[in-house]
Amino acid sequence: MKKEKSIFDRYMERRNILIKNRNVLQSSFIPDQLPHRSDQIGKIVEILAPSLNKDKPSNILIYGKTGTGKTAVLNYIGKELKKADPDELNCSFVYINCEVVDTPSGILYNISNQIITEYNRKIPFTGWALDKIYYELSNYIDEKNKIFIIVLDEIDRSFKKNGDDIFYFLTTMNEKLKTSRVSIIGITNNSKFTEFLSTKIKSRLGEEKIVFNPYTSFELQDILYDRAKDVFDPNVLDPAVIPYCAALAAQDSGDARKALDFLRIAADIAERNGDSVITEAHVNFAREKIEFDAVIEVMNTITNQSKAVLMSIIRNFENGNNKMTTGDVYTTYRDICAIINIPALTQRRIAGLISELDMLGIIHAQVKSLGRNGRTKEFSLNINQDVTERFMKDQLFEPLFSYKPSKQMTLM
């Protein structure tokens, strides 16, 4: 078959010159072996093994910072479990990420729809009372007469917003079940997580505890080499690159996801540039790009109100006010709202939105007491010029700039 010419041709040719299998460099990829995690895997397997004989394993609580392999290990174990019991006669493995779905009904809905295969018994996305979902779910589970292992990743997310009701649901479900059993694996990156749980749930959830320590720079190197060997031809990778990626990520909390991102994006950049060798310079570009993209991503997802708040902060900042208070921002905010024509919210709400921006890392805030002059949050902008400029181009702020007197005089 003869291929016609296309404007994409030059990109097709270039594709996959440096990177043979892009998938492998994604952090979501599950390799056949996970370096430096055999201890944890061993422990978990030991705990879960009884499930293959329809005996209920203990609940497990797993601690570890982001990118320490918790998710990868659990997915790996899920795969292995499936290998050992291909038809899921004795146990089923369910994985939920509570960061993605963080509402009680969202979590129950997700669990249900992974477990329930019959079409006519599926639980609707919304509209049902929690009690009802719970009732249907536990009935269904009990009919199956087997062990359900439910992994709740980023469990603290959901908790922060909704308290421990669902955990109560799930951990007490066994009391109502006649034949089946449910066991919960909670994953959290907050080591103080259990402090906030009620004592009953604390003891139930934490029957076993496993800790994932951050990877060291050397361990990260192993991980990267392990993946790189299938991805790059020899000599494509400058020998300094992997140690550099590892070192950067290790500095920053030993996050394997980050290390992989550095490597992948660096390779992408090199490939797109038409360079034949990936070097440290590419990694540095990658690092900037990642940071930039992350902030842009956040900015695209926040609501108009949050944008207006952020704009007020930027305005204050530009006017040389780098120790602004909530009150300062609120006055600017009201002005801006009037100009861009959106309703102004209460100060209480704005204080909340500011806290959210703080949590997203866009601004840096600190509660300060000004003595007689009250107590407030004092904060500063945490993003660079590029991002700010991009942000201000948002069409929401169109009116804000168009009314500006044209200062453009004679061009010289």
Instruction: Decide if residue 354 touches DNA (CB under 7 A).
Output: yes
Nearer to DNA, 183 or 325 (CB): 325
CA atoms of 166 and 159, how far apart (whole Å): 9
Which residue of 3, 5, 372, 404 would you call a contact of DNA, by CB under 7 A?
Answer: 372
Which one of the spans 7-15, 110-118, 141-149, 342-350 is the region binding DNA (CB under 7 A)?
342-350
Which residue of 325, 333, 337, 383 would you call a contact of DNA, by CB under 7 A?
Answer: 325
Q: Are 196 and 159 contacting, i.e. CB atoms less than 8 angstroms apart?
A: yes
Nearer to DNA, 114 or 284 (CB): 114
Nearer to DNA, 125 or 218 (CB): 125
Instruction: Decide if residue 316 touches DNA (CB under 7 A).
Output: no
CA atoms of 58 and 339, how far apart (whole Å): 59
Which residue of 326, 333, 363, 383 would you call a contact of DNA, by CB under 7 A?
Answer: 326
Instruction: Decide if residue 71 touches DNA (CB under 7 A).
Output: no
Q: Concatenated DSSP letters for 152-175?
A: EETHHHHHHHHTTHHHHHHHHHHH
Q: To the nearest whole angstrom, how small is the minimum distance from the Cβ of residue 110 to DNA? A: 11
Sites for DNA among residues 77-116 (CB under 7 A): 102-106
Instruction: Decide if residue 355 touches DNA (CB under 7 A).
Output: yes
Q: To the nearest whole angstrom, how small is the minimum distance from the Cβ of residue 105 to DNA? A: 4
Q: Are 288 and 276 contacting, i.e. CB atoms less than 8 angstroms apart?
A: no
Which residues are within 8 A (CB) of 215 and not within 5 positions of it... i.e. 6 or more apart?
A: 36, 67, 68, 69, 223, 249, 250, 254, 255, 256, 259
Q: To the nearest whole angstrom, how small is the minimum distance from the Cβ of residue 177 to DNA? A: 22
CA atoms of 391 and 28, how far apart (whole Å): 30
Which one of the spans 147-155, 268-276, 373-381, 397-405 is the region binding DNA (CB under 7 A)?
373-381
Instruction: Decide if residue 410 touches DNA (CB under 7 A).
Output: no
Can you read off the two tokens belonging to residue 137? 């779910």
Q: Concatenated DSSP letters for 38-69?
A: HHHHHHHHHHHGGGGGTPPPPPEEEEE-TTSS
Instruction: Decide if residue 320 touches DNA (CB under 7 A).
Output: no
Q: To the nearest whole angstrom, how small is the minimum distance from the Cβ of residue 354 to DNA? A: 6
Can you read off the two tokens belonging to residue 402? 């168009």
Looking up tokens 């004592």 gives: 199
Instruction: Decide if residue 140 touches DNA (CB under 7 A).
Output: no
Nearer to DNA, 29 or 140 (CB): 140
Phi, psi of 5 (to 5 degrees): -70, 145
Instruction: Decide if residue 351 touches DNA (CB under 7 A).
Output: yes
Instruction: Decide if residue 130 touches DNA (CB under 7 A).
Output: yes
Instruction: Decide if residue 58 touches DNA (CB under 7 A).
Output: no
Q: To the nearest whole angstrom, how small is the minimum distance from the Cβ of residue 401 to DNA? A: 23
Instruction: Decide if residue 124 touches DNA (CB under 7 A).
Output: yes
Rg (CA), the chain: 26
Instruction: Decide if residue 353 touches DNA (CB under 7 A).
Output: yes
Which residue of 21, 28, 303, 322 would you call a contact of DNA, by CB under 7 A?
Answer: 303
Instruction: Decide if residue 346 touches DNA (CB under 7 A).
Output: yes
x/- contact string, 374-403, with DNA (CB under 7 A)?
xxxx--------------------------
Instruction: Decide if residue 327 touches DNA (CB under 7 A).
Output: yes
Sites for DNA among residues 159-198 (CB under 7 A): 161
Secondary structure string (H, E, C) spanning 92-132: EEEEEECCCCCCHHHHHHHHHHHHCCCHHHCCCCCCCCHHH
Q: Are 220 and 250 contacting, i.e. CB atoms less than 8 angstroms apart?
A: yes
Q: Concatenated DSSP letters for 215-261?
A: PPHHHHHHHHHHHHHHHS-TTSB-TTHHHHHHHHHHHTT--HHHHHH
Which one of the spans 75-83, 212-220, 258-266, 326-334 is the region binding DNA (CB under 7 A)?
326-334
Nearer to DNA, 346 or 402 (CB): 346
CA atoms of 319 and 314, how far apart (whole Å): 9
Q: Which residues bind DNA (CB under 7 A)?
A: 102-106, 124-131, 161, 303, 305, 325-328, 343, 345-349, 351-355, 367, 369-377
